[in-house]
Amino acid sequence: MGTESDIKLINEDGTRIDGRTAEELRPIKIETNVLNRADGSALIEWGGNKILAAVYGPREAYPKHTQDINRAIVKCKYNMAAFSVDERKRPGPDRRSIEISKVVSEALTAAIMVEKFPRAQVDVFIEVLQADAGTRIAGLTAASVAVAAAGIPMRDFVVGCTAGKVEGKIVLDLCKEEDNFGEADLPVAVMSNSGKVVLMQMDGSLSLDEFNQATEMIVRATKVINQIQRDALSAKYAASMEGGE
């Protein structure tokens, strides 16, 4: 959240800086199995974000002391490419990427049937090629598709969206300017069928009413985004049935 700005985020007619209405998503496109060597992969384009998710496993967990005799462990690595932002980002892990890796791992663990694969690990790589706000949610949404494309049994899809507060107004799916200069940013991910919340973080502040309004918007949006996830998987399946892959 930014502290000060002269930038006008809400137009006279109530639309947002990029022309969207309060509850309008940026365009979202998902393509599955874009990488040959991964067991499953997905490329998501969500507004100005371009993010690749690659999944490997389940395979024997290594080093051995990390193995859990009761379930697979899900190891996620979120990384932002040096060229993904305006100013070159210093390559390699930082506190932010370590934190995102952790919360995304936990969200995916809830959705994957980890108990079916004792002593195994599932590796999930999220590579942000172009960042434009909401990358943790877009990366997680793509990773969930990549896990499904890898044929790893899941209870549910994980699907997320952000909402936030901009010039006093609750809006869905913050863009970069809104994320930088808005008053609150609330990324949330849920399981598509059970509706269980598996990730929730917040920057800034909201009243309880605003919080409820934001989460309701998010939940409505996840239904739309989940359909895009499902369509991406069935499009690939249909192509392979036609002998395309």
* Measured CA distances, 128 to 75, 106, 117 (Å): 17, 19, 29
50 counts as binding ligand ADP under rule CB under 6 A = no
Buried/exposed 27-54: b ≥16 CB within 10 Å, e otherwise: ebebbbbebeebbbbbbbbbbebbbbbb
With contact defined as beta carbons under 8 Å apart, do 25 and 173 qualify? yes
**In this complex, which beta carbon is closest to ligand ADP, that of residue 47 or of residue 58?**
47
The residue type of 168 is G
176 counts as binding ligand ADP under rule CB under 6 A = yes
* Least gap, CB of 195 to ligand ADP (angstroms): 22
The rounded distance, in Å, linking the Cα atoms of 157 and 232 is 13
**In this complex, which beta carbon is closest to ligand ADP, that of residue 17 or of residue 67?**
17
The rounded distance, in Å, linking the Cα atoms of 130 and 238 is 29
Q: If DSSP codes are grouped into helix, strand and coil, which group holds residue 231? A: helix
The footprint of ligand ADP on this chain (CB under 6 A) covers a number of residues equal to 14
* Least gap, CB of 237 to ligand ADP (angstroms): 30
* Least gap, CB of 23 to ligand ADP (angstroms): 19
Name the token pair of 17.
């800086």
**In this complex, which beta carbon is closest to ligand ADP, that of residue 179 or of residue 210?**
179
Peptide bond into 63 cis (omega under 30): yes
18 counts as binding ligand ADP under rule CB under 6 A = no
8 counts as binding ligand ADP under rule CB under 6 A = no
**In this complex, which beta carbon is closest to ligand ADP, that of residue 123 or of residue 179?**
179
Residues 114-143 interacting with ligand ADP (rule: CB under 6 A): 131-136
166 counts as binding ligand ADP under rule CB under 6 A = no
26 counts as binding ligand ADP under rule CB under 6 A = no
Name the token pair of 130.
């172009």
The rounded distance, in Å, linking the Cα atoms of 180 and 4 is 10
Q: Taking contact as CB under 6 A, which single stretch among the options 35-43, 82-90, 102-110, 144-152 is the one that binds ligand ADP?
A: 82-90
The rounded distance, in Å, linking the Cα atoms of 19 and 13 is 10
DSSP code for 155? S
**In this complex, which beta carbon is closest to ligand ADP, that of residue 79 or of residue 192?**
79
**In this complex, which beta carbon is closest to ligand ADP, that of residue 61 or of residue 80?**
80
* Least gap, CB of 127 to ligand ADP (angstroms): 13
Residue ranges that bind ligand ADP, judged by CB under 6 A: 85, 87, 89, 96, 131-136, 176, 179, 185, 187
